[in-house]
Structure 1
C-alpha cells in the first residue's frame, strides 16, 4: 500500500476518533426521528417520564442482554462525558478492526486467485502463431 493511502486511512481514523470521542458529547439530547415517532401521542414530565396518553414508547423496556456499551456509554462509569466519549472511541476502533480484518481477508483471497485467473485466460485464447495471424 502506498504511503498516500496510509496517510488517508490514518487521517480518517483520527477524524473519526475525534468525532466519536469529543464531538459526540455535544450531540442533541432530544429524541431522534424513530424515538420521536414512538413517543407521539404521549405526554412527558420534566424527567422525561410518560405521564399520560397512548404511544408505542409505553412498551419500552430495558434490553435483556444489556452490554458494556449500552445507551451510548460505558456501564459502570459515572462521568457521562468520559463514558460517552470512550464508548464512541471503542466503537470506532472495533468497527475499524472488523472492517480492516474483512478487507484484509478479501484482498488476500483476491490476490491469491488473481494469477490463476490471468493464467487460465491466456491459455484459453489461441496464440497468434497457431492461428496464422500476426
Structure 2
C-alpha cells in the first residue's frame, strides 16, 4: 500500500516494462511520461499502441484515485486519435476528468511531445467496482 491507501499500481506492470514514469497522481490530474525509444514501430515512430498504453494507464491511475482504497477501477472503453508522429525524446500524458461518478469515471488524456505539440488525444472510461477479496 502507498501513502494514499492504494496498492502500488506500477511495479511489475506494463508501465514498468515500457519505462512509463508517473510524475503526478490524483483524481483531478495524473501525469506521466514515456520514452519514444523502445516504444516504436518498425519505421522508428512512436507506436500508436504505446500511446494507447500511456493513455489507459494514466486514466486508470486517476480513476483508481477517484475510486479510493476500497474499490478498483477497470477500463471499459478507450478511444484515441493520433495527430502526429514522435521520433525521439519523451512524450508526456496528462489525464483530467470529464466525469467522476460513483460507478463510472471518464478522463481525457492529452499526449504531447517535448516541444508541447499534441501527439494524441484519448478518452478513457473506467468502471468502478468493489475490491475483490484478497486483492
Relative contact order, CA 8 A, sep 6+: which one is greater?
Answer: 2
- TM-score, scaled to structure 2: 0.24
**Higher Cα Rg: structure 1 or 2?**
1
In terms of fraction of residues, the more helix-rich structure is 1
Larger proportion of strand: 2
Instruction: Calculate the TM-score normalised by the size of structure 1.
Output: 0.24
